[in-house]
């Protein structure tokens, strides 16, 4: 999938669920459930056993599903993720080599927490900047302060965002938000609770849509 289309889809959907499970089967279940519930995008973290196989399966199984690789820390892993069909590559921190290995092949989304890191990531061609972990550092207030000097940057705050805070991040200018267990609880995955995950998905989608409708209101 062309990176230009992936960038547009990420911003349109506005939610990036991070899947971090104990097995490949669990990861596939979570991703397919989210897609059915109206969130056709997933980040498959490299901490999952067989993560590359999960990415390859999902990328081939559904043309409308945006599949990303998360917790990518090395350039050789970037190449393997791209070969598996990953549409975007994200990391918890900023590594210029990882960004450069991604740009031109997939959407790049490195992590950054300071203006200096944001500037360096932009210089190396990052498409989005993942602000992680945002909640322990001050949540929406910290994100608003960091994003202020960079009005044209596509920021994706992540780390501890739940249904209480999602709207504040969107109103503060987030292009999308990264959400983990608050959207895909481990127990819901273990018990194959499609209804539970689907309800959380609908709630998050509604919150993002509502916040975007408010524009820049504070």
Q: Give residue-wise pLDDT tens across range 14-73.
A: 999 999 999 999 999 999 999 999 999 999 999 999 999 999 999 999 889 999 999 999
- CA–CA dist 142, 138 (Å, integer): 5
Task: Report all structural domains of the chain as residue ranges with CATH numbers, in order of start.
Answer: 3-213 (3.20.20.70)
Contact 81, 89 (CB under 8 A): yes
Catalytic annotation, pick one of 130, 191, 199, 210:
130
Q: Give residue-wise pLDDT tens across range 94-129.
A: 999 999 999 999 999 999 999 999 999 999 999 999
- CA–CA dist 120, 77 (Å, integer): 21
Question: What pLDDT sits at residue 217?
Answer: 45
Task: Give the sign of the dihedral formed by CA 9, CA 11, CA 14, CA 17.
Answer: positive
Residue 43 appears among annotated catalytic residues: yes
Catalytic annotation, pick one of 43, 182, 199, 217:
43
- CA–CA dist 97, 76 (Å, integer): 10
Residue 217 appears among annotated catalytic residues: no
């Amino acid at each position: 999938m062309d990176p230009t289309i992936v960038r547009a889809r990420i911003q349109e959907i506005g939610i990036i669920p991070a899947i971090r499970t104990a097995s490949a089967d669990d990861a596939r279940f979570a991703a397919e459930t989210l897609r059915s519930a109206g969130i056709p995008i997933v980040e498959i973290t490299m901490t999952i056993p067989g993560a590359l196989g999960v990415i390859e399966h999902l990328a081939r199984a559904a043309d409308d599903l945006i599949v990303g690789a998360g917790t990518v820390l090395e350039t050789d892993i970037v190449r393997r993720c791209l070969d598996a069909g990953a549409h975007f590559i994200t990391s918890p921190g900023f590594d210029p080599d990882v960004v450069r290995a991604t740009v031109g092949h997939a959407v790049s989304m490195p992590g950054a927490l300071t203006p200096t890191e944001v500037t360096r990531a932009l210089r190396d061609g990052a498409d989005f900047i993942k602000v992680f972990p945002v909640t322990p550092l001050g949540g929406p207030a910290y994100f608003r302060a960091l994003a202020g000097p960079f009005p044209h940057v596509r920021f994706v705050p992540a780390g501890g965002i739940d249904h209480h805070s999602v709207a504040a991040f969107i109103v503060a200018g987030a292009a999308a938000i990264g959400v983990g267990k608050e959207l895909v609880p481990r127990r819901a995955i273990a018990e194959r609770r499609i209804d539970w995950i689907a309800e959380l998905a609908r709630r998050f989608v509604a919150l993002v849509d509502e916040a975007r409708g408010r524009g820049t209101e504070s």
